[in-house]
A and B are shown apart, each in its own frame.
Chain A
Amino acid sequence: MTVEQFFGNLSLLALALLKYNVTLTVLAIILAFPIASLLALGRLSSHRVICYPVAAYINVLRSSPLLMVLFWTYYTFPMLLKGGNVNVFTAALIGLTAFEAAYFAEFIRAGLQSIGKDQQKAALATGLRPWQVSLYITWPQAVRRMLPSLLTQSIIAFQDSTLASVIGLREVVQTTTIVNAREVRPIWLYSMLAIFYLCLCFSLSRIVRRLERKTADLLNA
């Protein structure tokens, strides 16, 4: 492999990674957080009409493989809605968002539950309204506690974004397969792909770990 070919392939992979995997993951995380917050609140609700369906949604999504979720959003739902086709990227985005929202919801719920009830009672006693208690007392502390696990899950979401290649999104794994079909250099190309992900996810997880330690210090202080 010549130097030009090497850098040519490298840039092809990097471009696909940025254009599809990174975009897909970032959008999915941004969309999933508010949805997951609502799901977590619903899960904690004392009304059965709200609590049970939300719990069912979370459990079903957490028990299915992501590929199955992607099949629903790419093949099944579009066929039900007027039988039209849907853009692969949109389908992957909806699938990944729905999937990660279920995982996020459980972390958010744990974070909210970790804030003692006494604080909320004390805050109410000072005359704050319930929404003010949530906004100023519960959520700021809960978010700080759940941030490390949410970020770890986000790294997993970044890894999971490669599954969109199975429904045909031209993301980085699909691109590697296509380039390999043309150049037949599996050893080079697949190693490159693995090293790419290894470097990215390793550094990201190191940052999260540092943050986790800081959070722990802060909470113990």
Chain B
Amino acid sequence: MGYQIDWSVLWESPYREWILEGLSLTFQISLVSWVLALVIGILIGMLAESPLRFLRLLSSAHVELFRNVPLLVQLFFAYFVIPLLLPLPLRRELYDLGWEMGSAILTLSLYTSAKLAEHVRAGLNTVGKGVRQGALSTGLTWWQMEVFVVVPLLLRIIVPSITSEFLTIFKSSSLAMAVGVMETTYVTQRIGFNTFRWIEANAMGTVVYLLTAWAVAICMGVIERRVRVPGLLQRDGVH
């Protein structure tokens, strides 16, 4: 075969810098999108329970729209189309800020928020009417009930889905390479093209994603056990 595996190539300049930079971008995109997705997802999920029909429709439209269009298509739409809809000075501003990253974060957070909203809706059913009525009867206003009672409980209930969505975001952030963000997957491909050391580059990329997935799963497993609501949360394998 004549192929000598040589790992040292990954640690040579400029590849080392590329890899470190790529890793940092992957983490930045994933973390920011995850936080945004969580906020949007909770809001959209709670709208599904709203007494106003219009807001319920808005919520399900959001979910259907972002779940049924492939992430790559959403990303291209955000990257190529959204700037064109803005006035010229604003458009320049957007490109100066780095719209590659921006569009990746925007699409990832919206796409994930739609999936989280479904979990939030299911979680709200688990919280149940009794807790809300109890909270209201202690004299809390509607807002106080939502903010201090329902949302904290909800967060504890949906921790497992928050974990799995973070893992999905982390993997999906690789799509950002399609609009030119130099994150881990793009770096893998570029090192491969530059050096023809495909095995080393590809193995490096895969290992990065595997290690992070396992690290996140372990950390969140600990958190899950800590915050579990007794008697409410059931998950296969964790008892």
Chain A residues near B (Cβ < 8 Å)? 60, 63-68, 71-72, 75-76, 79-80, 159-160, 162-163, 165-166, 173, 176-177, 180, 186-187, 190-191, 193-194, 197-198, 201-202, 205
Whether A63 touches B76, Cβ cut-off 8 Å, given contacts A71-B189, A75-B202, A160-B70, is no
In the bound complex, residues from chain A placing their C-beta under 8 Å from that of B206 are 60, 64, 68, 72
Q: Is the CB of A163 within 8 A of B84?
A: no
A85 to chain B, nearest CB (A): 13
A60–B213 CA distance with the chains assembled, in angstroms: 10
In the bound complex, residues from chain A placing their C-beta under 8 Å from that of B177 are 67, 166
B121 to chain A, nearest CB (A): 14
In the bound complex, residues from chain B placing their C-beta under 8 Å from that of A176 are 76
Q: Is B171 in the interface zone, CB < 8 Å from A?
A: yes
Q: Is the CB of B202 within 8 A of A194?
A: no
A64–B172 CA distance with the chains assembled, in angstroms: 9
Q: Is the CB of B71 within 8 A of A159?
A: yes
Which of B42-50, B61-69, B135-143 forms part of the interface with chain A?
B61-69
Q: Is the CB of B209 within 8 A of A63?
A: yes
In the bound complex, residues from chain A placing their C-beta under 8 Å from that of B68 are 197-198, 201-202, 205
Cβ-closest chain A residue relative to B189? A71
A28–B185 CA distance with the chains assembled, in angstroms: 23
Q: Is B198 in the interface zone, CB < 8 Å from A?
A: yes
Cβ-closest chain A residue relative to B80? A186
Cβ-closest chain A residue relative to B178? A166
Q: Is B175 in the interface zone, CB < 8 Å from A?
A: yes
Q: Is the CB of A76 within 8 A of B202?
A: yes
B50 to chain A, nearest CB (A): 22
Q: Is the CB of A75 within 8 A of B192?
A: yes
In the complex, which of the residues B70, B178, B202, B214 contacts A63, with contact meaning CB atoms closer than 8 Å? B214
In the bound complex, residues from chain B placing their C-beta under 8 Å from that of A72 are 202, 206
A sample of 28 inter-chain contacts (CB < 8 A) reads: A63-B171, A63-B214, A64-B171, A64-B206, A64-B209, A64-B210, A75-B198, A76-B198, A76-B202, A80-B1, A162-B72, A166-B178, A173-B70, A173-B76, A180-B80, A186-B80, A186-B84, A187-B81, A187-B85, A194-B69, A197-B68, A197-B69, A197-B73, A201-B68, A202-B64, A202-B68, A205-B67, A205-B68
Cβ-closest chain B residue relative to A199? B68
In the bound complex, residues from chain B placing their C-beta under 8 Å from that of A193 are 73, 76-77
Number of interface residues of B (CB under 8 A): 39
A96 to chain B, nearest CB (A): 13
A213–B214 CA distance with the chains assembled, in angstroms: 34
Q: Is the CB of A80 within 8 A of B3?
A: yes
Q: Is the CB of B72 within 8 A of A163?
A: yes
B73 to chain A, nearest CB (A): 5
Q: Is B112 in the interface zone, CB < 8 Å from A?
A: no
In the bound complex, residues from chain B placing their C-beta under 8 Å from that of A186 are 80-81, 84
Q: Is B102 in the interface zone, CB < 8 Å from A?
A: no
Whether A163 touches B209, Cβ cut-off 8 Å, given contacts A71-B189, A80-B1, is no
Instruction: Known A-B contacts: A64-B171, A75-B202. Give 18 more (CB < 8 A).
Output: A60-B210, A63-B213, A64-B209, A65-B172, A71-B185, A71-B189, A75-B192, A80-B199, A162-B70, A166-B177, A180-B80, A187-B81, A194-B74, A197-B68, A201-B68, A201-B69, A202-B68, A205-B68
B155-208, CB < 8 A from A: 167, 171-172, 174-175, 177-178, 185, 188-189, 192, 196, 198-199, 202, 205-206
Q: Is the CB of B72 within 8 A of A173?
A: yes
In the bound complex, residues from chain B placing their C-beta under 8 Å from that of A159 are 69-71
Whether A65 touches B64, Cβ cut-off 8 Å, given contacts A71-B188, A163-B72, is no
A40–B80 CA distance with the chains assembled, in angstroms: 42
Whether A67 touches B185, Cβ cut-off 8 Å, given contacts A173-B76, A186-B84, A194-B74, is yes
B17-66, CB < 8 A from A: 64-65
A159 to chain B, nearest CB (A): 4
